Amino acid sequence: MKRWVSKRYNANYKAIALRYNISEIFAEVLVKRGLFTADAMDKYLFPDIKEMYAPEKMKDLEKACDIIKASISEKRKIMVIGDYDVDGIMSSYIFIHGLEMFGADVSYRIPHRVKDGYGIRDYMVDEAYELGIQTIITCDNGISAIDAARRAKELGITYILTDHHEVPSENEVEIIPPADAVVNPKQSACNYPFSQLCGAGVVYKILSHIFEECGDNRYINELLPFAAVATVCDVVPLEDENRIIVSNGIKILSDRNLMKNIGMSSLLNELQIDGQVSSGDLGFKIGPCINAAGRLSDAAEGLKLLLEKDNDVAVKCAGKLVELNEIRKNMTAEAERKAVNLIDKIDLNERPVIVLFLKDCHESVAGIVAGRIKERYYRPVYILTKGENGLKGSGRSIHGYHMQSELMKCKDILIEFGGHAMAAGFSLLEENLELFADTLNQNCRLTDKELLEKVVFDREVALYDMNCEIVKQLDYMQPFGESNPKAVFAKREVVVKSVYMCGRDNQIARLKLEDGGKIFDAVDFSAESCIGAAIKERYGTAEWENMKSGICGQSVDILYSPEINERYGNLQFKIIDCR
């Protein structure tokens, strides 16, 4: 059972509807997205790239640009050091390609997930020095790497740090690495108007400043699409400047005349993404393929694809990434299945924090499995696997449970750990596993209410009051993503007229629903745990089995998202939850 909640505001929805020539339903949805003024709504509905903030407002950005321009003019050797996730790969590509457009001598280093771990290390600085590198630029990492920055200064290497992660602090005093320039909007001394950019967003702002100074706007088509991919995949809020980046980046990705990157075009073709690209394509198709290289092979393969100039080679590289992602999906599904089998033996009322050791799970997919188990059971989840020196783990959390703070309570039995409120990584000796699980559960203070997932809906709307025109208006909310989900509506007591189970393992239900004497199409992609669970709760297990056999007529309350069926063009309702 989930809690259904909806916000209430006193607003003149009729006036808003008249101003934008939209329905009052859509007007109310906009207000419930926190858009309380005409200016806020204009910026949301019309995300104009000209409305992006001046890059020079970001602390040290002009200083970093001056160093980069001097390094280029003096033909200094530059190395970009990124990260092995999508944001790190896209950040690295934006820097490399942007600098190459100015004729820079630039190379790169992408850390290996297993061999190197996250971020720049001091030995990477030593390696760069041996290669004659004179300027190092970090992207999507470095704000916690004090030793690497110090080592660069010892060796006389110019060091530019660009990042977007939280700045470490001690006794409420920020600890900033000793770099020549630190560009991170999360620094307390930074007055940039929007601090929620991803790593690639920060890098894009740096390059945009350099290009704008030269009166060259090629950077928009050349670099913006990759910032858009990273912004969606790094799950930063799709609001304010991030919304502008993604909205305009998607337009370029969707137009092959504008988006000329051979590697990305090959990947789009391999994934059979034609025409209009959506934020879902970025987050669930493109991003996972780029990530798959870092999970199962070498993340640099994703970067090599984007840098590739030969079409035939790019096609092969794209095919390999898609293949790796299919392997990753199978590995994840198998690990999830094993996790569910273990959870069946646990009393979640007594052990609200789920701690599972999956011996054969690849450590690179542990975080994905933790996320899926968290969504399935709505509990904090820690998934542990075999590492080189003990156990390695990934955690995913729910609201009300600060994962890093809880790990701090176990610091005496952990080898290392790090993270934030909603996710964390850690390692420990295998003999401490049981103590680790016991400690987490004994310290857990989550209430029954906090262990009940909250689902927010926009308003109650009868199915017969929804139409294709309103759905088209709701599309103006795209791109969807973090902090900007699709609109969700509620309707009580709809009658289920028919149920047709389909899909792999019969997990999808195609439904006919009656509301106000009219029949509507609906689909439930998690039938057994959604409408099936609701029917069982209301009427008993036998009734759900009867309905799947064709004996229908029972009523349920639903949360739904309206959509237009792409194949037939008719209105249908995607079921979000039932009770």
SS3 at position 263: helix
Kind and range of the H or E element at 359? none
CA distance 36 to 26: 14
CA distance 312 to 290: 19
Half-sphere exposure of 123 (CA within 13 A, CB side): 4
pLDDT at 49: 96
Q: How confident is the model at residue 58 (pLDDT cuts 50, 70, 90)?
A: very high
Q: Which among 429, 515, 421, 431 is positioned nearest to 466, based on CA atoms?
A: 515
Q: Which among 85, 480, 89 is positioned nearest to 278, based on CA atoms?
A: 480
Q: Which among 488, 463, 508 is positioned nearest to 577, based on CA atoms?
A: 488
Kind and range of the H or E element at 164? none
The answer on pLDDT for 69 being more than 80 is yes
Q: How confident is the model at residue 404 (pLDDT cuts 50, 70, 90)?
A: confident
Q: Which among 236, 248, 209 is positioned nearest to 98, based on CA atoms?
A: 209
pLDDT at 441: 96
The answer on pLDDT for 193 being more than 90 is yes
pLDDT at 531: 97
pLDDT at 171: 85
| Percent over 70 (pLDDT), the chain | 100
**What crossing angle do the helices spanning 24-31 and 38-45 adopt, rounded to 10°?**
100
Q: Which among 291, 351, 301, 356 is positioned nearest to 327, based on CA atoms?
A: 291
pLDDT tens readout for residues 3-21:
999 999 999 999 999 999 9
Structure tokens that stand for 437 in this block: 């699980």
Q: How confident is the model at residue 1 (pLDDT cuts 50, 70, 90)?
A: confident
Q: Which residues face 509 on adjacent strands?
A: 501, 524
Structural domains in the chain, CATH included, are 55-235 (3.90.1640.30), 346-443 (3.10.310.30), 457-578 (2.40.50.140)
pLDDT at 118: 82
pLDDT at 569: 84
User: Average pLDDT, whole number, for the chain?
Assistant: 95
pLDDT tens readout for residues 347-375:
998 999 999 999 999 988 999 999 999 99
Q: Decide if 397 contacts 423 (C-beta within 8 A).
A: yes
- What does the DSSP 8-state code read for residue 485? P
CB-based contacts of 20, cutoff 8 Å, min separation 6: 27, 41, 45
pLDDT tens readout for residues 79-93:
999 999 999 999 999
99-103, 318-322, 399-403, 414-418: least confident range: 414-418
How far is the first Cα of the chain from the last one, in angstroms, to the nearest whole number? 7
Q: Which residue type occupies 159? A: Y
Q: Decide if 103 contacts 46 (C-beta within 8 A).
A: no
Q: Which among 404, 409, 407, 352 is positioned nearest to 381, based on CA atoms?
A: 352
Structure tokens that stand for 498 in this block: 């028919």
Q: What is the mean pLDDT of residues 422-430?
A: 92
Cα three-residue angle 211-212-217, rounded to 5 degrees:
75
pLDDT tens readout for residues 331-343:
999 999 999 999 9
Q: Measuring CA to CA, how many Å separate 291 from each of 283, 297, 299? A: 11, 10, 7
pLDDT at 221: 96
Rounded to whole angstroms, the maximal C-alpha distance in the chain is 79
For residue 486, how many other CB atoms are within 10 A of its CB? 17
pLDDT at 568: 81
Cα three-residue angle 100-105-110, rounded to 5 degrees:
80
pLDDT tens readout for residues 214-258:
999 999 999 999 999 999 999 999 999 999 999 999 999 999 889
Q: What is the mean pLDDT of residues 293-308?
A: 95
Radius of gyration of the chain (CA): 25
Q: Which among 200, 177, 182, 160 is positioned nearest to 70, based on CA atoms?
A: 160
β-pairing verdict for 381-387 and 390-396: antiparallel
pLDDT at 186: 95
| Percent over 90 (pLDDT), the chain | 90
- Length of the chain, in residues: 579
Q: Give the torsion through C-alpha atoms of 78, 81, 87, 90, to 10 deg.
A: 30
Q: Which among 162, 259, 157 is positioned nearest to 206, based on CA atoms?
A: 162
CB-based contacts of 541, cutoff 8 Å, min separation 6: none
Q: How confident is the model at residue 528 (pLDDT cuts 50, 70, 90)?
A: very high
pLDDT at 419: 78
Q: What is the mean pLDDT of residues 300-306?
A: 97
Kind and range of the H or E element at 520? strand 518-524
Structure tokens that stand for 564 in this block: 């237009």
Q: Which among 446, 480, 495, 447 is positioned nearest to 561, based on CA atoms?
A: 480
pLDDT at 489: 98
Structure tokens that stand for 76 in this block: 């200094």
The answer on pLDDT for 553 being more than 90 is yes
Cis amide prior to 479 (ω within 30 degrees) = yes
**What crossing angle do the helices spanning 311-343 and 366-377 adopt, rounded to 10°?**
50
